[in-house]
Each structure stands twice: as structure tokens, then as C-alpha cells.
Amino acid sequence: MPVRSSESTAQYRTGLSRLEKPFSIDVGRFVMEGTVLSSPAFLPDATSFLNSLQANVVNGPKKGLVPFVDLKYFWDDAAEYTGEKDIYINAVELGMSIDYGNTLTLFMDGNIWQPQRVSDIPPIGYGNAARYLAQWIIKASAFLPSVQSMRL
């Protein structure tokens, strides 16, 4: 079960460069907190995502490759993508966000529908030389608009 970002940051690997980090791929899963309005499939989707990564390395065709480590598993919060990004989304190499969406906006915390717009991400972004994020998977409805809808 995910925890709130304010409850736990104990697993954050402070001060490690990419060369000093153990040989693995750190995974972070950030999921919209469940409410009556949010999808009951969000948590199983996050679990299936990690299980399929790990199973492929242990028993599948990619057996023996670098292991995936479940480093972060939190309920979504806007601070995890902006002010505290370096201890959440940018502290893993593979991040997954599962939320409701709208054009370039994620909605977090199903209780208050907290928006996180792509334009709110700090200009330095993610995955720079000092941090880790290499791939960010976003599962959200209507997040990436079509070319036609951007022209309107």
C-alpha cells in the first residue's frame, strides 16, 4: 500500500552518484489516492507494473538482467513533482504516475483533485546529471492531447 510522501522518505539514497549506486534500476510508483471517484484499478495497476518488471528479470526472457528495485511507492502529491522532486520522482530511474488527467495536467489526491501541470515542473526538469529519472511513464486519461486539439 502506498504511503503519503510526508510519512516516509527513509528510503531516499542521499548523496550517491550514479557510479556509487548499487547495480539496479530504482522504480518509483506514484498513485492517485483512492476515493469513491477514483478508479479502483489504480493500485492493482501499480502492483502489476512492478510485478511484470520483476518477473521478466527473474523468470522471463530477460533473466539475469539488472534487477528492478521498488524504491518509492507513494500516494501522489504535487510536491513530489516540484519542490521535493529530488527525493521523489527524480530519485528513481523509472517512474510511473497513475492519475486522472486532462491536457498536460495530472490530478492527484482524489479528495481535493489537486492539479499538477507540466508547466509547473521546475525549468531544470528531471534526469539532469545530478539526479536519476531516465523514463517517466504516465497513465492518465486525456493527458497527451492530439495535434488537432492543440490547434484549437
- Which grid cell is 91? 530519485
Classify residue 108 by its DSSP letter: E
Give the full edge-to-edge strand order of the sheet including 25-31.
Answer: 68-75, 25-31, 94-98, 135-139
Give the residue from 93, 92, 106 showing the smallest Cα distance to 141: 106
Helix (H) / strand (E) element for 27: namely strand 25-31
At 16 the pLDDT is 52
Determine the pLDDT at residue 11. Answer: 41
User: How is residue 105 written as a grid cell?
Assistant: 495536467
pTM for this prediction: 0.75
Q: Over its length of 152 residues, how does the chain's per-residue pLDDT go in tens digits?
A: 666 554 444 344 444 555 555 578 889 998 887 654 556 678 888 889 998 888 877 666 666 677 888 888 888 888 888 888 888 888 888 999 988 888 888 887 655 677 888 888 877 788 766 567 889 998 888 887 777 766 65
The CATH architecture annotation of domain 25-151 reads 3-Layer(aba) Sandwich (3.40)
Q: What is the pLDDT of residue 10?
A: 39
Domain ranges of the chain: 25-151
